Structure 1
């Protein structure tokens, strides 16, 4: 309804940019993940990334089609689908701050605030721009939180390395990151009060208070499946009528990944 109202008022609702080098397409996978969580629920979401249901399942196809009602609608996205495919994800929110605005809404992870502040240092978070959680789709599932994260690996198990790992996960270290902005801590001992502005504080509270939190599905999938997912969303933007074939191809990639994993396990 809001998107249609913006169009009726002469504007363009959304800015979307999928270009990200070798990972081009990942913002679209985040859209689909948010929609899956809200339309099919966390249990089906888990079955999806584990490939316990096929990619051709109705719940998955519905999520893609919901995304497509926005991303493949030339009236809904700034610059049309050509811009969706060609615009770098970090630059994609910039048209919101043009005069007049090139778009009014942008779906992205919390770190996008760093890109906005670097490009527009005079903007005040919470005053010149703000955010709202991805809306509810099915009331049964409410508004769950979709998360991702930076991973830290220890390649040499020494007391010093283990001590560093423990400190990086501590509230003390996480507070330092949180105070700088562009980061949300997964440590519940980090107070929302340490964040630099109201936007980050509100995002942190949403994450801490969410009854359901799920990690980014594509990041949990085997690399070959993630790659097929990325390629699939790009194909879908260009040719939405080919969605059944796209989903079949991703499912084949998932089946092959499982077979290869089984072969390696059996060796």
Structure 2
């Protein structure tokens, strides 16, 4: 299916829909939108064009378009907000139910297992991306890397972390394997929710931001150059660093907690009346 382009940063998608060439039915409209969602062109929260505009782009009647949108909404692929338009639904969903996420958060081994999983799967994704990335894919990655570098220079930590996740999502899109892509998206959602470890603490470690930036650049350059082995190695190296850094951040946090308790205890003791020498001798 031919497509024109991805959406702009506003989240509104206006140029990816194509005219229905043959039988202009609701089923044809449904299949086109389904494909855009499956292939990752339309993502969670993306807003569809207004009904009149979308009908014109696909060259179908508005009643046919409405029927297609209603069918997609009934299946949970689209959601309509009163007065706000039509959006792609939460198609990725939750990998784990809330009780499981809470259980995971209390067991440190879960973080190690999560990172081990990412190390192996992202190695495959990076290698596949280096083999399959199109010029448009590489342009998207280049733009993300440029934004990441700018945020790094400006000290915009929140933006840098946000682009970090978007970069990994984009690498998965470059695989052109929708099962791998959607699996990794759900994986990154857990990361964004802080289920496994606090990314802010990892970034706060001395020199971590510089190393993470260099690692992302290495992954990008290997994909750009079409070097599957280098892409795999760069992805493995990146997650191995995150494994070490998350463990160090956790250990440092524990040290800070204990140090704070010691300081508080010493401060409290210093404000208590001194014992008499007679009582001290007796004890």
Bigger RCO (CA 8 Å, 6+ sep): 1
Greater share of helix = 2
Q: Which has the larger radius of gyration?
A: 2
TM-score, with structure 2 as normaliser: 0.30
TM-score, with structure 1 as normaliser: 0.31
